[in-house]
A and B are shown apart, each in its own frame.
Chain A
Amino acid sequence: NAGVTQTPKFQVLKTGQSMTLQCAQDMNHNSMYWYRQDPGMGLRLIYYSASEGTTDKGEVPNGYNVSRLNKREFSLRLESAAPSQTSVYFCASMEASGLGYTFGSGTRLTVV
C-alpha cells in the first residue's frame, strides 16, 4: 500500500518552461489536493478535486492548471514557470470521513 505517490521529487526549471507534477493515490479516496509550502507561509491550497471529474481553485491558483485524470490521479501543470513558483509542492488525498489528509512525499521545484 503506497499511499500517495508524487513524481518527480526534485526539479529545476528555467523561467518560461512548462512541466507537470504527477500524483497518484491507491486508497480509493474521493478528494485530492495540491498545496505549496513556502518558508514562513505554511501550506497554501492551489487546487483541489472533491471527486472524479471536478476541480476547483484554492487560495493561490494563478499560474497553475490541474487535471483529475481518474479517481487515482490528480496532476498539476505549470504552463510557463516563474521564479515565484519556486516552492515545495505537496499532493494530498482524503477519505470521505474527513479525518485528515494523507500527504505525498513532496516535489521540490526550483525555477531559475
Chain B
Amino acid sequence: QKEVEQNSGPLSVPEGAIASLNCTYSDRGSQSFFWYRQYSGKSPELIMFIYSNGDKEDGRFTAQLNKASQYVSLLIRDSQPSDSATYLCADINDYKLSFGAGTTVTVRA
C-alpha cells in the first residue's frame, strides 16, 4: 500500500518564525515529491517539487528530501500571515499523485 503521511497539525507559528512541515512515504520507488499549498475554500497550488536528495530553495521555501530515510520536509522561513494555509505533500507513481492528509499552518501576527 503506497502511503504518504504528514505530521498532524495544526501548526501554529509566530510571524517571522520558521515553520517546519514533515512528510514520510512508504514507496521506496518514489522519485519525485511535491508540496502544494491550499487556502481555505480554494484549490491546491504547486509551490515546490523535489527529486534529488538534499535541499532545494525557492524564496522563503526550502524543500528537503532524504530518500534513505524516506522523508520530505518543507521549511517556510520568515513566516507571514499570508502563509496560513494547509500544505499537502505528494509523491508520484505512474503519472498519478498520492497526497498526504495535509498539515494546517496558522501564522500568528
- Are B44's CB and A103's CB within 8 A? yes
- Are B46's CB and A90's CB within 8 A? no
In A6-64, the 8 Å CB interface with B consists of: 31, 33, 40-45, 48, 50, 58
Tally A residues with Cβ within 8 Å of B.
22
- Are A100's CB and B43's CB within 8 A? no
- Are B92's CB and A42's CB within 8 A? no
Known: A33-B96, A43-B44, A105-B43. Is A98-B88 also a contact (CB below 8 A)?
no
Does A99 have its Cβ within 8 Å of any Cβ on chain B? yes
Alpha-carbon gap, A41 to B99, bound state (A): 9
Closest A-chain residue to B43, C-beta based?
A: A103
- Are A42's CB and B49's CB within 8 A? no
Does A94 have its Cβ within 8 Å of any Cβ on chain B? yes
Q: Which of A45, A101, A105 has the most CB of B within 10 A?
A: A101
- Are B95's CB and A42's CB within 8 A? no
Q: How far is the CB of A37 from chain B (nearest CB, A)?
A: 9
- Are A101's CB and B88's CB within 8 A? no
- Are B43's CB and A106's CB within 8 A? yes
Interface residues of A, dominant DSSP? strand
Residue numbers in A under 8 Å from B44 (CB-CB)? 43, 90, 101, 103
Among A40, A103, A106, which residue has its beta carbon within 8 angstroms of that of B45? A103
- Are B101's CB and A40's CB within 8 A? yes
Residue numbers in A under 8 Å from B46 (CB-CB)? 100-102
- Are B32's CB and A42's CB within 8 A? no
List the 10 shortest-distance A-B pairs measured between CB atoms, nearest first.
Answer: A42-B101, A103-B43, A43-B99, A100-B46, A42-B99, A100-B34, A106-B43, A105-B43, A103-B44, A31-B95
A residues at B contact (CB < 8 Å): 31, 33, 40-45, 48, 50, 58, 90, 94, 98-106
B residues at A contact (CB < 8 Å): 32, 34, 36, 42-46, 49, 88, 92, 95-102
Given contacts A42-B99, A104-B43, 16 further A-B contacts (CB under 8 A): A33-B97, A42-B100, A45-B97, A48-B96, A50-B95, A94-B95, A99-B32, A100-B34, A100-B46, A100-B49, A100-B97, A101-B44, A103-B45, A105-B43, A106-B42, A106-B43
